[in-house]
Structure 1
Amino acid sequence: MTGHPVVAWQGADEADRPLVVLLHGRGADERGIIGIADDLPFAPTYAAVRAPIAEGGGYAWFANRGVGRPVADSLAETMAWFHAWLDDVAPGRRPVVLVGFSGGAAFAGGLLLSDPARFAGAAILHGTLPFDAGVPVTANRLAGTPVFVAHGDTDTVIPAELLSRTWTYLHGDSGATVHGRRDPGGHTLSDDTVAELADWIGELTDPTTKR
Structure 2
Amino acid sequence: MNTVKDLHFLSSPSVLQDEEHPLLVLLHGFGSDERDLMAIRPYIDPTWAVVTIRAPFAEGSGFRWYALRSLQSPDLEEMEQALNALKKWFSGLTVRFPHVPPHKVIVGGFSQGGVMALHLGLYQPLREIGGVSVLSGYLPDPPSPDTSWRRLPVFWGHGLSDQVLPYALAHKAHEILIRHNIEITFRSYAMGHEVIEEELHDLMQWLNDVVK
Same fold, judged at TM 0.5 (above): yes
Residues 47-86 of structure 1: CA distance to partner in whole angstroms, max 9, x if unpaired?
0000011102100011211135322222111101111111
- Partner amino acid for 1:71? D
Task: Specify the alignment match of 2:102 in structure 1.
Answer: 94
1:179 Cα deviation from its structure 2 partner = 0.7
Q: Percent identity?
A: 27
| Mapped partners of 1:15, 1:48: distance in 2 | 21
Q: TM-score, normalised by structure 2?
A: 0.85
Unaligned runs of 5+ in 2: none
Aligned equivalent of 1:7, options 6, 9, 13: 9
- What is the Cα-based RMSD across aligned positions, in Å? 2.3
CA shift, 1:43, in A, is 2.5
Query: Could you tell me which residue of structure 2 aligns to residue 113 of structure 1?
Result: 122
Deviations 1:87-110 (A, max 9, x none): 112369533211110111111112
Whole-angstrom CA distance in 1 between matches of 2:182 and 2:117: 15
The answer to whether the 8 Å contact 2:4/2:82 transfers is no
Is residue 201 of structure 1 aligned with residue 197 of structure 2?
Answer: no
Give the 4+ runs in structure 1 shifted more than 6 A.
none
Q: Is the 8 A contact 2:121 2:150 kept in 1?
A: no
Which residue is 2:41 aligned to? 37
* 179-188 vs 59-68, which moves further: 59-68
Aligned to 1:90, the other structure's residue is in SS state helix
Cα separation, 2, equivalents of 1:155 and 1:174: 25
Counterparts of 1:1-211 in structure 2, within 5 Å, are: 1-12=3-14, 16-67=20-71, 69-90=73-94, 93-95=101-103, 96-116=105-125, 118=127, 119-131=129-141, 136=143, 138=145, 141-142=148-149, 144-159=151-166, 161-170=168-177, 172-205=178-211, 207=212
Report the 3-state secondary structure (helix = DSSP H, G, I; strand = E; otherwise coil) of the residue aligned with 2:132: strand
1:151-176 residue CA offsets vs partner (Å, 9 max, x unmatched) = 11111101555333212112x21211
More displaced 10-residue stretch of structure 1: 109-118 or 53-62: 109-118
Tell me the TM-score normalized by structure 1. Answer: 0.85
Whether contact under 8 Å (1:139, 1:175) holds in the other structure is: no
Residues 73 and 140 of structure 1, relative CA distance in 2, 3 Å threshold? closer
Distance 1:165 1:23, change over 3 A: same
